[in-house]
Amino acid sequence: MLPKRLIVFVTTLALLASAQADDHGNTWRGVNLDQQFGIQFEICQLKPGKALSDIAKLDDEAQRLFGINAPDLSLMRLTPMFSHGMPGGTTVSYIDVTMGSIESFGKGWDNWMASKDASKLMANSDKVASCTFKFARAVNRFVNPEALDASDDRLISMNWCSKRENVSWNQLKAKHDAWQAAYEDDSASMAWNIVIPRLGAGNQNGRYMHMVSYANTQQLMANENWVANGDGGAALQDYYTAYGDCDGESIWNASYLYKGDS
């Protein structure tokens, strides 16, 4: 029997046209979750002498301008909790994540670039941090809308992976579909998406990322306890050895700055 909470670690055949989200009739915050939707990462490194409190001073203006220029998109700020940064190495200070339909990104960016106030905001942001934009597509595999709506705060796990060469995409998808069918109603997470790099992907092109949301640290550590003292360790070892070559999870504190119109 497959261990519980395995959904948190599995992947999908997201890079092929057949890898679409299961048909649950899901719509959340105006986004059809049965289709691939847009997700943008603004990856930022604070400049010397600057702190997160400095960028937070610009948040009210960011919220106002999102409401004017991109009302259908949602914006979250992520700060590292358990990151991949090591002493002496370069770390990411924060990530602003924008989510919504792909069509809404097109309209929102055009409005944003035509706005003098938005240009001023971006210039002020550049004084605080150096940022790069990455656009990707996301595939919904599991979602609990009630849990997501219960709080503006959560923890988000990210894990970049590549398919093992000796496994076909169809084999990988079949295995993951079986896991999801068995345990999507028994997951410790609130949501699970597969992120597909698209624009500005660089060396991540052709890879995929598990993006999992937890309500709190208790849920996260319940999963860690399953890995440490349950069947999780063996399950992960089997998966990482035979199916996916993964970098390992990083955990981020996440809070909404703006919620798109639903």
CA–CA gap between residue 135 and residue 70 (Å, rounded): 16
Q: Compute the half-sphere exposure of residue 21: CA atoms within 13 Å on the CB side of its CA.
A: 26
- Tell me the pTM: 0.84
Task: Answer for the pair 141, 24: CB distance below 8 angstroms, yes or no.
Answer: no
Site of tokens 């070892």: 237
Are 134 and 40 within 8 A, CB to CB? Answer: yes
Maximum separation of any 2 CA atoms in the chain, in Å: 58
Domains and CATH numbers, the chain: 6-258 (3.30.70.100)
d(CA 21, CA 26): 10
In angstroms, rounded to a whole number, what is the distance separating the alpha carbons of residues 181 and 173?
12
> Number of C-alpha atoms within 13 angstroms, CB side, residue 101?
16
The whole-number pLDDT of residue 223 equals 85
Give me the residues of the chain with pLDDT under 70, please: 1-25, 86-90, 179, 182-187, 262
In this prediction, residue 12 carries a pLDDT of 32
Closest CA to 58 of 107, 109, 131: 131
Per-residue pLDDT at 87:
57
Where does residue 89 rank: exposed (0-12), middle (13-18), buried (19+ CB within 10 A)? exposed
Helices (H), 22-58: 52-56
d(C-alpha 15, C-alpha 85), whole Å: 28
What pLDDT score does 253 carry?
95
Q: pLDDT at position 23, please?
A: 41
Cβ atoms of 138 and 59 within 8 Å: the answer is no
**3-state secondary structure at position 35:** coil
For residues 93 and 49, give the distance between their C-alpha atoms in angstroms, rounded to a whole number: 13
Q: Are 157 and 5 in contact (CB under 8 A)?
A: no
Contact yes or no for 101/32 (Cβ under 8 A): yes
Q: What integer pLDDT is reported at residue 229 of this predicted model?
A: 92
pLDDT at 208: 84
Place of tokens 């070559």: 245
Look at residue 141 in the predicted model and tell me its pLDDT. 72
